[in-house]
Amino acid sequence: MAKQHTKTQIPKQTGRSGRNKRDVWYKLDLSAIVYPTLQRRDFSSVYRLSVVLKEVINPAILQTALDKTLPRFPTYKVAIRKGLFWRYLEPNNRPGPYVMKDISNPCMPMPFKGNMRYLVRVYYYKNRISLEAHHSLGDGTGGMCLLQTLTAAYLGLLGHPVKPEGFVLDIASEPDPEELEDAYMRYAHAQVCPPRPAEKTYRIRGTKEPFYTLNIIDGILSVREVMTVAKKYNASITEYLNAVLLYALLQKQNADFHIRLRPVRIAMPVNLRRFFPSKTLRNFITMVYPSIDPRLGNYTFEEIVTHVHNFMRYYINDKFLRGDITTNAATQRNPLIRVVPLFIKDFVVRTFYTRVQDKNSSAGLTNMGALHVPEDMKPYIERFDIYMGQPFSSRTNCAIISFEDVLTINFASSIIEADVERYFFRKLVQDGIHVKIESNRNRNID
């Protein structure tokens, strides 16, 4: 097992339990390394998770719940710092963060020196609580654990106690050391590294929105309806919705002016906890890229579903995924690269991502799957939402989550045109699925 990367910073500090403890800093995990490098004035790697309750939020009580909850998550109660060779996370004992009334354009850029240096934000609006977090802290699983624990603490203060279970942690307990680990380094020991997709893909052309504008389109569906349709295609819900997005991207490319066709490819994060046991609340995901190449011929929707189904079976398994994270870990383990100054690493990573990595996909899609909450919480929750946040370049990101029979599909983009979203939801309706649309746009997207 890889050792936890911690280092003594401050001699002594009184811990949550009253014991003297040493402050530690955390080296960025294998995925987190790239996110600060891509930071710019109009872009941060920020995602949003929301829970919609059945009663209006009391902001004062929510603030008290946040103050009680965040210390239980030491890798979220941090500030990011820059060293000579790497960045790291150090404990943040400044006041805050403070809950705020929600804004119309979520996932705003998150300057590292703003918000009292916290990399999390909590918003409220009517009966909705929203958590925004910088991806350098952790992935959606860690963020959901924080959101559900915060929600449980909030309900407890209202007189509705929730027994810790699943994503809800006991805020009076000490963190499990495994929650703080860089789990990649524990499992990155394959003997071969599989190749990555390298060919440029179709890129959506669109009109850039004004600075800091993020367009949100939510589709609210019935899990049972989607499952029934997916079974007709002999596919899972994830496979079916991936196929619908590829189908929408193909339609968009055909409608665009183009000199030649290009493959359409989706960047889809996979939760590695499904394959490699870990309690980590930090990043523990890797990417797979289901794709269709229209240069090979016209694909029917049924053929796209079959292709995606076979792709998932072939690539999403512990053997392939171990090889993928071993590839990622190889550079960090290289002793020569480790002593290269940070500003050179930043330049190389930013150049590679802009010129190669970002051009390897046409859209992003993540599916957190069916969420489970403690039985004590169920009566108070209506639904959950997830947003991948602002794309690095002109494209759309799609995020899916379900709770009970409510499945939400959340699109986020920074371009005016909503053609891909329109093709996507039209296909669902054509397949007999009822869709309720919500949006922060002022324009008609029908």
Calculate the average pLDDT of the chain. 90
Q: Given a cut of 80, is residue 143 above it in pLDDT?
A: yes
> What sections of 123-222 are H helices per DSSP?
140-157, 184-187
Confidence of residue 445 (pLDDT cuts 50, 70, 90): low
**Calpha distance 409→233 (Å, rounded):** 20
Q: What angle do CA 217, 223, 227 make, to 5 degrees?
A: 115
Coil, helix or strand for 203? coil
Once rounded to an integer, what is the mean pLDDT over residues 23-32?
88
State the pLDDT confidence band at 6, using cuts at 50, 70 and 90.
Answer: very low
Per-residue pLDDT reduced to its tens digit, 380-439: 999 999 999 888 888 899 999 999 999 999 999 989 999 999 999 999 999 999 999 999
User: What are the distances in angstroms from CA 147 to CA 80, 140, 371, 373?
Assistant: 21, 10, 12, 11
Q: How confident is the model at residue 352 (pLDDT cuts 50, 70, 90)?
A: confident
Report how far residue 82's alpha carbon sits from residue 119's, in angstroms, rounded to the nearest whole number.
15
- Which pLDDT belongs to residue 349? 87
The per-residue pLDDT for 125 is: 96
167 and 144 Cβ atoms separated by less than 8 Å: yes
Sort strands 396-403 and 406-413 into parallel, antiparallel or unpaired: antiparallel
What's the pLDDT score for residue 3?
Answer: 36
**CA distances in angstroms from 406 to 132, 222, 402, 442, listed in the order given:** 22, 5, 6, 25
Q: What is the pLDDT of residues 363-375, one digit of tens each?
A: 999 999 999 999 9
Q: Which pLDDT score, from 0 to 100, does residue 440 have?
A: 87
Task: Kindly state the helix (H) or strand (E) to which residue 352 belongs, with its residue range.
Answer: helix 342-355
Distance CA 86, CA 90 (A): 13
pLDDT at 107 over 70: yes
Peptide bond into 194 cis (omega under 30): no
Quote the percentage of the chain above a pLDDT of 70: 93
pLDDT digits (tens, 9 = 90+) for 33-61: 999 999 888 888 999 999 999 999 999 99
Pick the CATH number of 6-183 from 3.40.50.720, 3.20.20.210, 3.30.559.10, 3.40.50.2300: 3.30.559.10
Q: Which of 242, 238, 319, 309 is nearest to 286 (CA)?
A: 319
What residue spans in the chain does CATH classification 3.30.559.10 cover? 6-183
Amino acid in position 240: Y
Question: What pLDDT sits at residue 359?
Answer: 82
* CATH 3.30.559.30 placement within the chain: 215-365+393-439
pLDDT digits (tens, 9 = 90+) for 287-321: 999 999 999 999 999 999 999 999 999 999 999 99
pLDDT classification of 444: cutoffs 50, 70, 90: low
- DSSP character at residue 418: -
Lowest mean pLDDT among 246-255, 331-340, 384-393, 428-437: 331-340
**pLDDT at residue 11 is higher than 60:** no
Q: With 90 as the cut, is the pLDDT of residue 333 above it?
A: no
For 435, counting Cβ atoms within 10 Å of its Cβ (0-12 exposed, 13-18 middle, 19+ buried), the class is middle
Please tell me the class of the 215-365+393-439 domain: alpha beta
> What pLDDT was estimated at residue 19?
35
* pLDDT confidence of residue 8: 31
DSSP 196: P
Report how far apart, in Å, the C-alpha atoms of 274 and of each of 3, 239, 318, 321, 350 are. 22, 17, 9, 11, 30
